[in-house]
Structure 1
């Protein structure tokens, strides 16, 4: 028990105690106020986080919608390029078929005339043994010409049918690489019309792989189109070489031409979408970007621009021999 005999001392002690009590009350009030402020801040922070989360979710939905639209646009562009390649093949096949069909028509017309001539002799009782032998010889030669050229046209149509299927579908199948590329290049003859440019395929005749031939066809078509449009446009006696090598489970494609080549400052941008040096001449800048996407995406490979020759363009890409 607190005891104090001095009144002044007692008064001083109680004054001090009252002061301490007031200080404690003030501290409690300040602490309570601080706690209220913290609760308010937490509430505002939670509301701010919720608002920010909702905003981010909305932005994410917009981004997903944009990516879906971009993917759809990319698919549409690839389909358009595929149809453009198919259109080039149609022109090539039409060109290849026109000649044998024309020969057949000429031979058939000549045979019809000969039949009419010898029928007239027969009805006039003027047909001799020698005439009959001449007619049979003419009919035999005409039939042989017609048959061989119809077979040639049928072969062209059969080749085109498979190429058209490959270009329009994304189905995987086994192909003989040299045979497939040879048939593809023959269908692309319109690219070489009115030029002295030539092409050569170097590949093992027995090399067979399981892949997406439509993708390979579009890659080679776009590379040739690029050579003809950019590299060989002002070149005489242009040459395109496609060399294919099988190496440790990979198929290596070496594509090169002897054109003007690709400037160093453009090489890093060749595969960029919409990059073209002929914007004012109808170039879309999508051909090489599609080549890159098909090699690295559809075929699971890699592609690069090589710098191993003094002139011309040199593209090197690898794909698995089996997908």
Structure 2
């Protein structure tokens, strides 16, 4: 191949138009290069249809003018298509009389003044997909091997451009798919976020309902417990008033004797002491309940004596346990000072004891019922524990006990949130851990480990 043709081929092969995936630009470049290299004024690129029954022009250049696209059906030019089927170069020096091109004489060659044709196959992935058609006017032209090799090389470069176009098409499709996927993911994510927000709102309401239900139980128990000392105080007060009225009557009638006055003083002393004891008891119950209830709602961090605080918690819990005929035993060490959230601790023990009423002691349970609460200091940590001698837990229940909304007492009003709240308070609010020890018919022990000073 001469130097001029090699130079043209090198320029085309190095052009970005070949590999950027734009077939229009690649077609223009290659057809202009054919015209330049061969010194002809008409050339074009034609591509076969998928069924090979038609060939369509993609780009035709005639005297530097771009012509409209043309189509040639197999049925009108069978000899030409038979030659194409061999997938070889068609080099027609005398196109009007060549076996492959003579069918074009009257309809294409003579009207356009074409005397010689050179068609070189374009291949993509091993198959012929079209041709580069070179058309010469003037004297008959015997296409040299160099010219055929030159056009064949340009045809191969066009095949490379077709491959680049296919890659670009796949990339665009992939980008579109990715965009659709991203849009779908964003839409699904938005839907999930909305659903999660709704679930969180519902869970918050349920948690608040669970907390208020626990406080409601405390209120009922404490109210019943307070009624006893208040009732005694009212009765004692009424008795003291009666004795005072009797004393006034005797004094007015001038019948008050020393013995009557001493009896009055003794009666008043006993009555006032009884009133004082019972009012103090009622005040203690109300004070401890107020502290426990307020702490459970506020969950504020503070420094406090855990031993003393657990004693306060147990006060409003005792009426509840007595109502269910359960003995409540409190095991405390000496003062355990911690920096933590008393409200969370109150909520934990209230939930554990309330949970016991529904699950630990069914109607069929026989024997004494006993709950044990306590705390032990362990260097920088504290172990708080709950124990009962109830029916215990199966392996399945023990595994799922902290799952939100899991309950074995749905028919009895269980929400499945009590133990979930306990777990979240221990692990998140107090930064601790919780351990379940239980076997069927062997009772339940829950050990809670927290730092003496929470980190959050």
Aligned-partner SS, 1:268: helix
Cα contact 1:235–1:259 (8 A) shared by 2: no
Q: Does 1:76 align with 2:205?
A: yes
Map 1:281-320; keep pairs closer than 5 Å: 281-307=412-438, 311-320=442-451
- More displaced 10-residue stretch of structure 1: 102-111 or 52-61: 52-61
CA apart distance, 1:206: 1.0
Over 3 Å counting, the alpha-carbon distance change for 1:146 and 1:243 in structure 2 is closer
Mapped partners of 2:190, 2:412: distance in 1: 39
Over 3 Å counting, the alpha-carbon distance change for 1:51 and 1:195 in structure 2 is closer
Unaligned runs of 5+ in 2: 3-141
* Structure-2 residue corresponding to 1:5: none
* Structure-2 residue corresponding to 1:148: 277
Aligned-partner SS, 1:162: helix
Cα contact 1:167–1:215 (8 A) shared by 2: yes
Mapped partners of 2:209, 2:275: distance in 1: 38
Give the number of equivalent residue pairs.
315
* Structure-1 residue corresponding to 2:235: 106
Mapped partners of 2:350, 2:299: distance in 1: 16
- More displaced 10-residue stretch of structure 1: 161-170 or 60-69: 60-69
* Structure-1 residue corresponding to 2:409: 278
Over 3 Å counting, the alpha-carbon distance change for 1:308 and 1:36 in structure 2 is closer
- More displaced 10-residue stretch of structure 1: 82-91 or 192-201: 192-201
Mapped partners of 1:235, 1:191: distance in 2: 19
CA apart distance, 1:211: 1.3
Q: Which of 393, 411, 416 is the aligned partner of 1:262?
A: 393
Mapped partners of 1:236, 1:183: distance in 2: 28
Aligned-partner SS, 1:59: helix
* Structure-2 residue corresponding to 1:201: 330
Q: If the length of structure 2 is used for normalisation, what is the TM-score?
A: 0.64
Q: Does 1:62 align with 2:173?
A: no
Aligned-partner SS, 2:330: strand
Q: Does 1:165 align with 2:281?
A: no
Mapped partners of 1:126, 1:191: distance in 2: 52
Cα contact 2:332–2:375 (8 A) shared by 1: yes
Over 3 Å counting, the alpha-carbon distance change for 1:235 and 1:218 in structure 2 is farther
Aligned-partner SS, 2:190: helix
CA apart distance, 1:302: 0.9
Q: Which of 28, 34, 39 is the aligned partner of 2:168?
A: 39
Cα contact 1:177–1:209 (8 A) shared by 2: yes
* Structure-1 residue corresponding to 2:158: 29
Mapped partners of 2:293, 2:257: distance in 1: 53
Mapped partners of 2:164, 2:299: distance in 1: 66
Q: Does 1:15 align with 2:132?
A: no
* Structure-2 residue corresponding to 1:226: 355
Over 3 Å counting, the alpha-carbon distance change for 1:59 and 1:293 in structure 2 is same
Q: If the length of structure 1 is used for normalisation, what is the TM-score?
A: 0.88
Aligned-partner SS, 1:210: strand
Map 1:207-246; keep pairs closer than 5 Å: 207-233=336-362, 234-246=365-377
CA apart distance, 1:309: 10
Mapped partners of 2:313, 2:204: distance in 1: 23
* Structure-2 residue corresponding to 1:10: none
- More displaced 10-residue stretch of structure 1: 97-106 or 124-133: 124-133
Mapped partners of 1:225, 1:292: distance in 2: 15
- More displaced 10-residue stretch of structure 1: 15-24 or 282-291: 15-24
Mapped partners of 2:369, 2:343: distance in 1: 26
Unaligned runs of 5+ in 1: 3-12
Q: Give per-residue Cα distances to partners, 1:210-231, cap 9 Å, x unaligned.
A: 2111111111122112222212
Higher strand content, 1 or 2: 2
Mapped partners of 1:140, 1:272: distance in 2: 58
CA apart distance, 1:303: 1.0
Q: Give per-residue Cα distances to partners, 1:10-37, cap 9 Å, x unaligned.
A: xxx9532232133123223323333333
Cα contact 1:222–1:287 (8 A) shared by 2: yes
Mapped partners of 2:324, 2:160: distance in 1: 92
Higher relative contact order (CA 8 A, sep 6+): 1
> Computing the radius of gyration over CA atoms, which structure comes out larger, 1 or 2?
2
